[in-house]
Structure 1
Amino acid sequence: MSLAIGIDIGGTKVAGGLVDEEGNVIARARRDTPHRSTKAAVVEDLLVSVVDELDAVAERDSLGDVSAVGIGAAGFVGADRSTVVFAPHLSWRNEPLRENLRARCTHPVFVDNDANTACWAEWRFGAVRGESHLVMVNLGTGIGGAVLFDGEIQRGRYGIAGEFGHMQVVPGGLRCECGNRGCWEQYASGNALVREARSLLAAESPMAHDIADTLGGDLTKLTGPMITEAASAGDATAAELLAEIGTWLGTGLANLASAFDPSAFVIGGGVSAAGDMLLGPAREAFRKQLPGRGYRPEARIAQAQLGNEAGLVGAADLARSAVKGNVA
């Protein structure tokens, strides 16, 4: 069996897995994400420990040979698939990660943006298998994204393509962590969902009584999944908040359709767990905002299927493909 190791570095956890050629994760390893002040060498020690653990499992259980290691990291990864230019959760700044790890691993190593790896996984094994022109939008704390055309990830000249969350949709709008105002992720992300719910709670709106009762008055406990759960249980206000986020999502997708003309959008990330409560309003807004609507083919909008493991599955498969010379 041909295996590859995929590692997904998120804000709270580092998830690793042994992945076969069909995209199945047959062994897993997990570590907590180090604090952003942690030195780069310490983070590399952690990654090597994950690789070593999964290598040992493959050898112990006679699962097959490991051909490559792929790493998906949140942040800016250079077009060389080697250098982490900037990682918001870690201290990496122009970090030559691939070179450093290659000196310590027996396998070829490839580094990529985590949205690219998730997009690849959904194209190879998930919700948009086989689509020719694909855009992925990941709705988490912020918004990440990726573009795939004719079987190749489009990384841009400097490797930083797909940062859709920082398109300006409201001139002079809400301040974003990137330093600008009115960015898309201020209106269509998990942070936006929680912010809007907290504003209702802080105003002691009667519309938010059910959510307030769940929290016991402690606004710091509020999370996006709680709002989704409340909406699923019939809370009209929670459903309205999700619909508002969905409307902003659809508006942004219409802009992306103008730029890329894809055959499909795939929506991933934690907020996508809301399913049609989010995607229904998104599709409606998309149709209303799409330029030339009624006179052009309309891209389908699909919910991602692979969940939290998409990043590591895609990282592994991209690395395997690179070793075979097929890639991406």
Structure 2
Amino acid sequence: MPHKIYITRKLPEAIKIRLAEHFEVRSWEKEDEPVPRETLLEEIKDVDGLFCMITEKIDEEVLQAGKDLKVVANMAVGYNNIDVETATANGITVTNTPDVLTETTADLAFALLMASARRLVETSDTVRNGEWGAWSPMQFTGQDVFGATLGIVGLGRIGEAVVNRAKGFNMDVLYYSRTRKKDKESDLDIEYAELDVLLKKADFVVLLLPYSSESHHLIGRRELALMKENAILINASRGGIVDEDALYQALVSGEIWGAGLDVYEQEPVSTDHPLLTLSNVTAVPHIGSASVKTRRAMADLAADNLIHVLNGKKATTPVNLQN
């Protein structure tokens, strides 16, 4: 009998066909709606592998319900949606999809920076709504990117890719990371700074670090107060890293100039969220890796992990057990 797997979202047909060559495949077929909790708990009871997204909370209840479960393949770099400790204790391999989305996510982070600096969404809406009046000297003025100081919080692969883009704009780059990376400083022509110093000096602060209990609300009221009045905060990592109430107050009061957000504490973000009422917030719906090429590569890598583990081989990108 072939192993059984469950897929929690509609995937490109080519990926499903590939998986069906190895497994008995069941899936939730609605593209824009997460699998209901009760459906997931029922479906996982007799499967050997789970192909999931960051929208699914794979907690102890789910893992305990999956009595035959051997592998959880998360189609994302982050895996804070999964109780890795419980999975490990139960001998379940957890995998993610790093590397393949590095350049695409860096593109999005820098696009958010540019859009926020030059007020692209706000001014586009002005044109579409017929509100574009006569030209005036300071109308729609934004912030310069070329020659500005960029502060990167979290210098992983995506952070390094953002540095490469910033160098094309002649930006001075500061970085903060829990572990200083001296070997990168000369290669990338960047300077290490403690977080408080970075926040005080940077014109743009880009968050690119993983979410954990230690990074929860890393950027709060105190940190925002350190930033320049013309500074722009970009979050392309995870929503919980920023205290959104504090960010709202900082933006309303003029403590900082603007923000570009791809991620939120609760997703999808509510349409009545206070941040969405502000014209100096550029908000997009968690599209960091959303290119056709990258999403397909992520799906292929998640499929690789399922195929390898359930065929007794080593996972390609494990985050806990290495089978």
Mark yes or no: TM-score above 0.5: no
TM-score (norm 1): 0.28
The higher radius of gyration belongs to 2
